[in-house]
Amino acid sequence: MTEETQAYTVNADGSISVKEDGKSIKYVKESDLGAVKVLLKDKEGEVSKLQADLASANTKYDEAHQEVLKERAAKQLLEKDATEVAGLKEKATSLETQLADLTKVSGETATKLTERLRSQLQTLYKVDGDKLKDKALADLETIESSLQLAGVIPAPANYDGKGGGGTGGNDDLQGKSPLALATMGYEKSQK
């Protein structure tokens, strides 16, 4: 290309604009080019700083995101445990109710057994009822065991209500043969 075919324009800032093949090319002074290079280096430094800040922000974001995920997992575990605790609480309430029922039944049974043992000591061993009235079940069992170890023989049962050993007791039947006893029984049934 020759200078005759080129059209150029001098700009107010001292640069030259040349039109070549329909395109405009701008030429600047070398001193201005140095200033642009310095500005470009400053901009590259800013870009590097912004990239470093972006990387740091991404790291902080990732760390915060991991913390959020940990908190979510902990919350889910806590909710699961809360559900299990509710089930255990219901089971504990049920077991407390059962225990209360068993305690009540046990108390009633212990009371019945205490009264039965007290009555037996009064009836069989002829122990005064006033001496036994304030005794607990364990005390009554100790008394019964002591009487048995001491060789105290229970009084014979009084099934006929006559006090045992009076008239009309076993004395009428002793020494009689089985045939005589059967005859007596038949005669009494005929009356």
Position 42 in a domain: yes
Ranges 18-22, 117-121, 138-142, 170-174: which has the least confidence: 170-174
Position 142 in a domain: yes
Position 172 in a domain: no
Position 164 in a domain: no
Give the N- to C-terminal CA distance of the chain in Å, as an integer. 167
Burial of 122 (0-12, 13-18, 19+ CB in 10 A): middle
Residue with tokens 């972006």: 54
**37 has pLDDT over 70:** yes
Q: Which of 17-31, 51-65, 141-155 has the highest mean pLDDT?
A: 51-65
Q: How many domains does the chain have?
A: 1
Q: Cβ contacts of residue 100 below 8 Å, gap of 6+?
A: none
Q: Which domain holds residue 29?
A: 7-153
**pLDDT tens, residue by residue, 53-100:** 999 999 999 999 999 999 999 999 999 988 888 888 999 999 999 999
Distance, in Å, from the CA atom of 43 to the CA atom of 39, rounded to the nearest integer, reads: 6
Specify the pTM. Answer: 0.40
Rounded (5°) CA angle 98-101-106: 120
Position 91 in a domain: yes
| Higher per-residue confidence, 33 vs 18 | 18
Q: Which of 10-14, 29-33, 99-103, 163-167 has the highest mean pLDDT?
A: 99-103
Position 167 in a domain: no
Q: How confident is the model at residue 42 (pLDDT cuts 50, 70, 90)?
A: confident
Q: What is the DSSP letter of 153?
A: P
Position 118 in a domain: yes
Position 135 in a domain: yes
Name the average pLDDT for the chain.
Answer: 83
Check if the beta carbon of residue 156 is closer than 8 Å to that of residue 164: yes
